[in-house]
């Protein structure tokens, strides 16, 4: 499938859409949740295809619109969608930094979007978990954040590997994307608990693909679901951890609705 940057960056291509509005509101909520500690955030989810990369790119672009200097980091070393999307899938990037050390700043590229730069995934030899587990990942992410940049990190699905757990321990917070159509319940709750058990600050759950066109169903479902997940089931399961504090809905969009 050919990837198209403007299809992805809905906040730029269609700023008045309902989806863009939800990204702006997500941005505000993240700012409020993290205050001055707002330095880096990872976007995680249980399954592939739930919309992590899409949320990541749009969230990064939404922050860039506030004149934050934002670096989008493609830490999905298994399926580097964003590197392909931005046209840097053959470039050196995070992987090379993790192998070789040195400054990660040199590997950042500018994008066409104002205030938004990008760190490609680079080329992995062997298992991504091995390089993510080393101590260079933390150094790389904190180097970026220390340059007054807000760092937004894309990850691989939690059900497939523990990469996102390793990444999550090096960022200020994580948001978990959930697609209601993929929801199984037991798996998502367990994976969210494992984030919390790794001391990852789970800021909230993003319900991706809740259909705004279905009127009260869309809203009712989104709210009930998010509430049930964050406060009801998550808490009720007795993990002894704080549940996700918030849920936000990102509506699906299509070219027609732009």
Ligand X SMILES: Nc1ncnc2c1ncn2[C@@H]1O[C@H](COP(=O)(O)OP(=O)(O)OP(=O)(O)O)[C@@H](O)[C@H]1O
The distance of closest approach from Cβ of residue 197 to Mg ion in the complex, given in angstroms and rounded to an integer, is: 24
The site partner of 208 among Mg ion, ligand X, none (C-beta below 5 to 8 Å per kind) is ligand X
Binding residues for Mg ion restricted to 161-200, rule: CB under 5 A: none
How many residues in the shown chain lie near ligand X by CB under 6 A? 18
Q: Choose between 218 and 232: whose C-beta lies nearer to ligand X.
A: 218
121 lies in the site for Mg ion, by CB under 5 A: no
Q: Which residue is it, tokens 């200020």?
A: 172
CA distance 22 to 219: 13
From 49-57, 121-129, 162-170, 179-187, span contacting Mg ion (CB under 5 A)? 49-57
The answer to whether 79 contacts ligand X (rule: CB under 6 A) is yes
User: Which residue, 2 or 199, has its beta carbon nearer to ligand X?
Assistant: 2
Q: How far is the CB of 156 from ligand X (least distance, A)?
A: 6
Q: Which of 40, 45, 46, 53 binds Mg ion (CB under 5 A)?
A: 53
Among 128, 157, 168, 226, contact with ligand X (rule: CB under 6 A): 157
CA–CA separation, 31 vs 26, rounded Å? Answer: 9
Tell me the three state secondary structure of residue 165.
helix
**Interface with ligand X in residues 199-238 (CB under 6 A):** 208-209
CA distance 121 to 124: 8
Encode burial over 92-123: b for 16+ CB neighbours within 10 A, e otherwise.
bbbbbbbbeeeebeebbeebebebbbbbbbbb
Does residue 120 interact with ligand X by CB under 6 A?
no
Q: Tell me the site size for Mg ion, rule CB under 5 A.
A: 3
* Tally of CB atoms within 10 A around 125: 9
Phi-psi region of 57 (alpha: psi -120 to 50; beta: other; left: phi over 0): alpha
Instruction: Say how far apart CA 123 and CA 5 lie, in whole Å.
Output: 22
Give the residue with the Cβ less far from ligand X, 18 or 139: 18
Q: Provide, rounded to whole angstroms, the least separation between the CB of residue 4 and ligand X.
A: 9
Residue 48 C-beta: closest distance to ligand X, Å:
3
* Distance from chain centroid for Cα 3: 18
Of the chain, the end-to-end C-alpha distance in Å amounts to 21
Contact partner, 89, from Mg ion, ligand X, none, Cβ < 5-8 Å per class: none
**Shorter beta-carbon distance to Mg ion: residue 81 or 117:** 81
Are 73 and 152 contacting, i.e. CB atoms less than 8 angstroms apart? yes
- Would you say 49 or 101 has its CB closer to ligand X? 49
Residue 246 binds to ligand X (criterion: CB under 6 A): no
135-145 core/surface letters (b: 16 or more CB in 10 A; e: else): ebbebbbbebb
Q: Does 54 bind ligand X (CB under 6 A)?
A: yes
Kindly list the residues in this chain that would bind Mg ion in the complex (CB under 5 A).
52-53, 81
């Amino acid at each position: 499938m050919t990837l198209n940057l403007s299809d992805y960056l809905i906040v730029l291509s269609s700023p008045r859409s309902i989806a863009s509005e939800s990204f702006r509101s997500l941005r505000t909520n993240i700012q409020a949740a993290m205050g001055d500690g707002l330095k880096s955030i990872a976007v995680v989810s249980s399954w592939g295809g739930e919309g992590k990369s899409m949320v990541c790119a749009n969230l990064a672009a939404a922050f860039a619109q506030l004149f934050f200097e934002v670096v989008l980091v493609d830490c999905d070393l298994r399926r580097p969608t964003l590197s392909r999307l931005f046209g840097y899938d053959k470039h050196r990037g995070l992987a090379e930094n993790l192998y070789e050390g040195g400054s990660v700043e040199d590997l950042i590229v500018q994008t066409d979007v104002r205030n938004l730069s990008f760190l490609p995934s680079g080329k992995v030899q062997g298992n991504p978990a091995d390089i993510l587990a080393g101590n260079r990942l933390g150094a790389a992410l904190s180097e970026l954040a220390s340059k007054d940049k807000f760092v937004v990190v894309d990850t691989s699905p939690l059900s497939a590997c523990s990469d996102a757990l390793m990444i999550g321990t090096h960022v200020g917070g994580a948001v978990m994307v959930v697609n209601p159509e993929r929801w199984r319940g037991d798996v998502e709750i367990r994976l969210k608990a494992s984030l919390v058990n790794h001391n990852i600050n789970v800021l909230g759950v993003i319900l991706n693909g809740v259909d705004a066109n279905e009127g009260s169903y869309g809203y009712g479902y989104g709210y009930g679901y998010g509430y049930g997940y964050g406060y009801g089931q998550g808490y009720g399961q007795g993990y002894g951890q704080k549940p996700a504090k918030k849920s936000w809905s990102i509506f699906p969009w299509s070219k027609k609705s732009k």
